[in-house]
Structure formats: structure tokens, C-alpha cells
Amino acid sequence: MVDLPEFKETSLDEIPARISTTRKAFHENKTRDLEFRLVQLRKLYWAIKDNEEEIMEACAQDLNKPRFETNLAESGWLLNDIVFTTRNLHKWAKDESASDIDLAFKFMSPKIRKDPLGTVLVIGAFNFPFQLTLGPAIGAIAAGNTVVIKPSENAPRSAAVMQKIIEASLDPSCYTMVQGGVPETQALLAERWDKIFFTGGATVGRIIAKAAAQHLTPVVLELGGMNPAIVSKSADPRLVARRMLWGKLLNAGQLCTSQNYLLVDKSLVSEVVQEFKNAYKEFYPQGAKGSPDYSRIVNAASFARLKSMLDNTKGQILMGGTMDEKELFIEPTVVQVDSVEDSLCSQESFGPFIPILPVENLDEAIRLANGVQSTPLGLYPFGNKADVEKIVSSTRSGGVSCNDAALHIPTLPFGGVGESGYGAYRGRSSFDVWVHRRSITSTPSWLESILAIRYPPYAGKISTF
């Protein structure tokens, strides 16, 4: 077992000074230079690599996250993200020449410059602590901002390892971390920012947006996850069960893109349930509790919330259902419910529950899905091409994975719509979300004789236009 650094809240008195240091560095143009940004990103890459064991251990202690999942969605994910960003940065940051411009203005050399926004704040969530905190920060650094990073206090070992990584690799005058929970975040929100990037639940999202509005600060809100899966009668029950189970066993369902509930054509329900049982046996021959490949719930409060959701369901448990409070273990649990108002469908579970609601047909499924939350983060339609297309074109969501669960290609824009948030990042969008597209024109002196037409006196000039 590797030793981990200790998690310690940043003192409230220290916060304003940290911010003003980063703001000063921005105004000194330290981060404008592309080579400077590239060096920072490369140093960050190597610090993540050097601390991979600490990252594994921190995710294991915070969430019992299997090493495979930590590599897939935390350290490995970030390393790939940095490689992709550094490879493309020159191309993304280049001035864009303006197209669709009237010939008359071409002489003014119109172009769009990708200006950094300034000093920005990234607030992370606990469930993929490294990916969701350092991921947005990578884009912010690439775009030339100075950055303050606030990880979730609910994954404290991960937060402490992130601090070690940041301090070991990045220029401290430009990039800093503030540790803590509500009081520290409130202290951060009292300050003026050039953008705030928040990942978390909608309740806190509203607090962030309100605080930002005081300073007219733009915000990105990456919120959750009332994601429906819609299973048409043309779907393959085995595929549905294996993929949907995977979507709920990753991080024990603490995943914003995992499906919250399934609307299944009634003719397929018993086959789908049987296939869930088959897949569960195949993935966890000794059960999830004894497997090294299954996470735990993050803390006692989340465990209690999930327990109460299951206690209050009017549905019938068809698979799983066991819990161990001491271990914060909740088994992947399939429940047949009879209404979308059931406790398991009407709130975001953010846990390993798989409620199945039988429906008469696709039209009913679409109507119900649109009624629960009309703009979820993800949508998972299963069936043939025509059925899937019908579902996609009758619904809205941040993203869609047809015939799959949770999957999102890491370089495609990722973000919610409506109640699941606004703004998107990942891939090129991670750069675009952190820059101001600044239109620049330059009027040559030789144009003066033509431009003279704009100056008064106007008499006799109107007919020239």
C-alpha cells in the first residue's frame, strides 16, 4: 500500500490571496505563450504518470474503485486527454480567418483570435474525482487561463493526491488548488471569476449559477443524470441486459451518464430480467460483494439516501437487493416498478439500481421519458434502426448512445441541455469552452480615401450606398 498525502482544508483567510496571485499572473501575460502552456501540460502529464500508484490507491480508498476502472476513467483518461490536447493545441489556438465576409471588408484582414478568458474556477465532483476535476482544468490551461481548482471534499484522498500532482508540476503563480467543502466553495464564489466550470448536482448548480450572476460570470454546469433507457420490442434482450448492467456496475452506479431507469416493451420484460441474472452471474461469479471489480458507495449519507430509495419502492426486487452498511456495499439490484413516480425512477439514484417499467409500446415509453425530465444528460435507446431513430427524434438529451449504456467517446463534445446543464467540453470543445472568440480587424491607412464616405457632412452621400 502506498502512503497518501493528508487531506487538509485550505484556510478561508488564504483563499483571496491565492486567487489574486493567479489573477496577477494572468495580467502579466504569463499564460498567453503557447509554449508555456504546452510545458505545463507536459509536466502535468508526467506528474500524473509518476503518481499513478497514488491515484489507484486514493480511488481505492475513496470509492473502492477497481484498478481497471481507475486506469480507464481517471489516470489513463487524463493522460490521453493531455496527449490529444498538446498534439492539437497549435491548430486550435491559431487565429481563424473570417469567412463569409463582404468583399469590402476583406482589406481589413478580419480574423478571430482565441483569447483566454482570464482567471477561472473549476469545481469538481466526487465520483470520478481525477477525471472530472483535472479534465476541465486541462482545457483551461491549454486555452491560456490561470486556474483555481476545487476538488470534491467527498473524495478526500483523491483531492489530496491531486494537490500533490498540481504542486509538483504546475507553475504555482498560475495554477492553484483550494481544498474544502461548502464554506471554502462559498468563499470562492464570493470572488469575481472569468468563468466557473461546475460538475455536480442540480441543487448546487443553482447555487453556483446564482453566485456567478452577481458578477456576470459565465458558467458551465455539468449536471446529472435522470437518464432513461428505452427498450423497444425489436431490441436484443441479452445485449440490453449486459450493456445496462455494465452501465450500473461502473463505480457502483455513481456515474452521471448511467441510466436511471429502463422503459421496456412489456413483451420483453421477463427475457430482459433473465438476461440481467445471466450477465450478473457471468460478471461476478462469486457475487459483487466478494469481487475486486466492484466499487462501494462514497459515504454513509449517500448509502442512507440509496437505502431509503429502495425501502420506499413499491416495486418488486427481481435481482440483488442486498446491502452492507458497514462496508457501504449495495448490490446491483433489478426492480420491476409500476410507475415512473416510483422512488427509484423519480429521483436520480446515482447508485446501482436498475428499475424496469414495462410499457405498452414505444409511444408510451417516449411519452413517459419526456415527462420525467425532458432534458436528461444521456439517453439509451435499444432496438432496430427505425425504432432507435424514432426515439432519438422524439426526445431531447445531452447525448445519446444508441444500443449502449453510459458510453461517451472521450473527444466528442460532452454536456447537458436544459435541466442537465449547459456548456460542453472534451476534445476540441475543452479548448473552445475556455476561450473568447475575439474578432479583430485592422484598417489600413490607404483605405482612408474610400472610408471618407462615412464621415460627415453626409449630404449627397446616401445615394452612393
126 binds ligand NAD (CB under 6 A): yes
Applying the rule CB under 6 A, the residues between 196 and 235 that interact with ligand NAD are: 199-201, 204, 207, 222-225
Active site residue 256: yes
Q: Which of 222, 275, 331, 348 is catalytic?
A: 222
List the interface residues with ligand NAD, window 361-390 (CB under 6 A). Answer: 377
Q: How far apart are the first and last CA of the chain?
A: 78
Between 122 and 310, CB nearer to ligand NAD: 122
Minimum distance from residue 208 beta carbon to ligand NAD (Å): 7
262: left (phi over 0), alpha (psi -120 to 50) or beta: beta
Which one of 48, 117, 125, 337 is in contact with ligand NAD (CB under 6 A)? 125
* Category of 109 on φ-ψ map: left (φ > 0), alpha (ψ -120 to 50) or beta: left
Residue 153 interacts with ligand NAD (CB under 6 A)?
A: yes
Instruction: Please work out, in degrees rounded to the nearest 5, the angle formed at the alpha carbon of residue 230 by the alpha carbons of 370 and 425.
Output: 70
Window contacting ligand NAD (CB under 6 A); options: 58-66, 106-114, 146-154, 400-408: 146-154
C-beta separation of 280 from 272 below 8 A: no
| Number of residues counted as binding ligand NAD (CB under 6 A) | 29
**Rounded to an integer, what distance in angstroms lies between the CA atom of residue 374 and that of residue 387?**
19
Task: Please report, as residue ranges, which positions from 154 to 193 form the binding site for ligand NAD (by CB under 6 A).
Answer: 154, 181-182, 185-186
Q: Does 332 bind ligand NAD (CB under 6 A)?
A: no
Task: Name which of 69 and 265 has its Cβ closer to ligand NAD.
Answer: 69
- For residues 117 and 108, give the distance between their C-alpha atoms in angstroms, rounded to a whole number: 25
Residue of 22, 127, 176, 217 interacting with ligand NAD (CB under 6 A): 127
User: Which run of H or E residues covers position 358?
Assistant: strand 353-359
Q: What is the Cα–Cα distance from 194 to 116, expressed in whole angstroms?
A: 9
| Amino acid at the residue 220 | V
The least distance separating ligand NAD from the CB of residue 37, rounded to whole angstroms, comes to 24
Q: How far is the CB of 437 from ligand NAD (least distance, A)?
A: 24
CA distances from 295 to 110, 231, 253, 342 (A): 53, 27, 9, 26
Per-residue binder mask for ligand NAD (CB under 6 A), 416-435, x = binder: x----x--------------
Does residue 348 bind ligand NAD (CB under 6 A)?
yes
Long-range contact set of residues 384-388: C-beta below 8 Å, sequence gap at least 24: 384/232, 384/234, 386/234, 387/232, 387/234, 387/235, 387/362, 388/232
222 is a catalytic site residue: yes
Tracing cell 483523491 back to the chain, one arrives at: 158
Least spacing, CB of residue 150 vs ligand NAD, in Å: 6
User: Hey, what's the cell of 328?
Assistant: 457501504
Q: Which residues bind ligand NAD (CB under 6 A)?
A: 123-127, 132, 150, 152-154, 181-182, 185-186, 199-201, 204, 207, 222-225, 256, 348, 350, 377, 416, 421
- Residues carrying an active site annotation: 222, 256
